[in-house]
Chain A
C-alpha cells in the first residue's frame, strides 16, 4: 500500500498541477486506462468542486488531496476549507442536458464504488472516494 499527500492553492492553475501529479503516481503504480482515466476523472470532479464551490477560488484557502493505492482499491480524500461546498452538494439539482455545468457529482457517483460527502474537521467539505481495482481475471 502506498499513500501520497498533496496540498494545492485555490487557483485555476492548480487543477493542471494536480492532474500532472496524479498522472505521475498512476504511472508509477502501473495503472492504465480505463482505470486510470476513471480515477483521474473522479478526482478532478471533486477537486473542481472544492476549487470553485468550496473554496470559491480564494487563494488563501487550500485543497488537500490524499491518494492511497493498494492491490484492491484506489482511495482518495479531497478536503477543502470552504463553508458552502457541502450544502451545494446536498442541495444539488439534476443536471440539465443543455446546461454548462452540474455534471461533476453525477460522474463521481457513476464511477466511484463509494463516494462520501461529509464535513471535514476544519469545517470544509471532505469527499471520500473508493474505487475497486479492475484486476485481470486469472483463468486456468
Chain B
C-alpha cells in the first residue's frame, strides 16, 4: 500500500492507495505512530484509492482510532468506494468512525470545530 502525506491547517492528511489488509496495516500504524510522536493528533485518511480492505484492515483502523482518541486527537475518513462503505455498515463501524464524502468536506469540519 502506498501512503502520501501532506498537512492542511494542522491536519495531517494521508492518502492511501492499494490494499489495506494484514500485511499493509502495520505500515499504516507505523506512519500514524510517527505523527502522534510529533504530537500531531488530528489525522485524516483519504481512502479514494483503496481498492481492497478486509477485517484485518478494519482492525488496524479501529486500533488507530482508539490510540488517537486516547491522546485527545481526532481521526476522520473520506472517499470510501461504495463496496468499502458497505463493509463499514455491515460491521457497524460506520457508527463509530467520522466518515465524510470528500476530503474537502472532512477538512472543513476541522475548521468548524476549531472556530466553535
Contact A15 B62 (CB under 8 A): no
Known: A97-B92, A100-B62. A41 touches B22 (CB 8 A): no
Q: Does B48 contact A (CB under 8 A)?
A: no
Main secondary structure of the interface of B (DSSP, over half): helix
Known: A97-B93, A98-B66, A103-B59. A16 touches B19 (CB 8 A): yes
Q: Does A40 contact B (CB under 8 A)?
A: yes
Contacts between the two chains (Cβ within 8 Å), count: 70
A83, B60: Cα distance in complex, Å:
27
The 7 A-B residue pairs whose C-beta atoms are closest, nearest first, are A103-B55, A100-B59, A104-B55, A37-B83, A44-B54, A100-B63, A34-B83
Q: Does B108 contact A (CB under 8 A)?
A: no
Chain B residues packing against A (C-beta within 8 Å): 19, 21-24, 51-52, 54-56, 58-60, 62-63, 66, 82-83, 86-87, 90-93, 95-96
Min Cβ gap B97→A in Å is 11
A91, B10: Cα distance in complex, Å:
46
Known: A16-B23, A48-B22. A99 touches B90 (CB 8 A): no
Known: A15-B21, A98-B96, A100-B62. A48 touches B90 (CB 8 A): no
Note all chain A residues with C-beta closer than 8 A to B56. 48, 101, 104
Note all chain B residues with C-beta closer than 8 A to A12. 22-23
Contact B87 A41 (CB under 8 A): yes
Q: Does A7 contact B (CB under 8 A)?
A: no
Q: Does A3 contact B (CB under 8 A)?
A: no
Contact A107 B52 (CB under 8 A): no
A118, B66: Cα distance in complex, Å:
35
Give A16's nearest chain B residue, CB to CB.
Answer: B23
Contact B22 A106 (CB under 8 A): no
